[in-house]
Structure 1
Amino acid sequence: MIEEPGRVVALEEGAVWVETLRRSTCSACSANAGCGQGLMEKLGVGQKRGYVRALTDLQLAVGDGVVIGIREDLLVSSSLRVYLLPLLGLFAGAMLAQWLALAESFVILSSLGGFLAVWWLVRWHSRRSEADPALQPVVLRAELAVRAMPTESR
């Protein structure tokens, strides 16, 4: 389970909206000194707030700290679906036009058509399955605020 801490900003029936701080992994990368992304991270451009809807059965209030999570296999399969499949559609369209011995302009248009067709299928699948609770982030636990203990005077 991939976990991310956040803060509840809105409540819904059976779910909450959680505000998280988007962070990159540039600080752990050995090449961050010569990388443009690392420079942007140092300037604070990469630190933006993100809002995530997470399912929960806990009684939470706005402002509560929570830890949300998503399954690793779900993240990997979604990434492959969103990034790899349209790219494969692009290559398939180009290879089909090339196999049919079409002119270069038609190869380009065919590759774009393959990309858009697979992108549309991925989008259709995502919209069809967006209400599936097994595919959504969940609140794993609420984080308790650490309060200062009153000291006893003797």
Structure 2
Amino acid sequence: MIEETGRVVAVESGAVWVETLRKTTCSSCAANAGCGQGLMDKLGIGARRGHVRALCDLNLAVGDPVVIGVREDLLVRASLLVYLWPLLAFFAFAVLADCLALAEPLIILSGLGGFALAGFAVRRHSRRMANDPASQPVVLRAMLTGPAGP
């Protein structure tokens, strides 16, 4: 599981909305000292708040700190779908247009058409999967906010 901490901002039946702080991974990079993006990360310029709907069977209230998680295989499949399929479609349509001996402008337009077609297919697939409980983040645990013990 890939985990992220956040704070509950809304409660629904069977789910909660969690506010997370999105930031870059530049703070852990070896070239952090000489990089402008690393400096922006230190200043908080790259940090933004995001809201995520996560499935939950715990009794939580607004303001509770939680840890949410997403399965690694879902993240890998989603990355391949979003990044690889449009790129492959771009090249496939361009190569097909080249094999048909079309003019260069038509080869370019064919590649862009394949890219757009794959983009629409990814969007359609994403909308179908949006309501699938197996592809949504889940609340793994609530974090203690006060002192523990008797």
TM-score range, shorter chain: over 0.9
Q: Matched residues in 1 for 2:89 and 2:35: separation?
A: 31
Q: Which has the larger radius of gyration?
A: 1
Flag structure 1 segments of 5+ consecutive residues without an equivalent.
150-154
Flag structure 2 segments of 5+ consecutive residues without an equivalent.
none
The alpha-carbon deviation at position 148 of structure 1 amounts to 8.3
1:98-149, CA deviations, whole angstroms, 9 ceiling, x for partnerless residues? 1111111101100000001111111111111110000000000011113388
Give the TM-score normalised by structure 1: 0.92
Q: Matched residues in 2 for 1:118 and 1:14: separation?
A: 33
Q: Which residue of 1 aligns with 2:11?
A: 11
Q: What is the identity percentage for the equivalent residue pairs of Structure 1 and Structure 2?
A: 69
Q: Which residue of 1 aligns with 2:92?
A: 92
Q: Matched residues in 2 for 1:99 and 1:34: separation?
A: 47
3-state SS of the aligned residue for 1:102? coil
Aligned AA for 2:104? E
Q: Which residue of 2 aligns with 1:141?
A: 141
The alpha-carbon deviation at position 56 of structure 1 amounts to 0.4
3-state SS of the aligned residue for 1:120? helix
Q: Matched residues in 2 for 1:33 and 1:111: separation?
A: 40
Aligned AA for 1:123? R
Where do residues 55-134 of structure 1 align in structure 2 (5 Å cutoff)? 55-134=55-134
In structure 2, relative to structure 1, the CA distance for the partners of 1:36 and 1:112 (3 Å cut) is farther
The alpha-carbon deviation at position 25 of structure 1 amounts to 1.3
In structure 2, relative to structure 1, the CA distance for the partners of 1:59 and 1:148 (3 Å cut) is closer
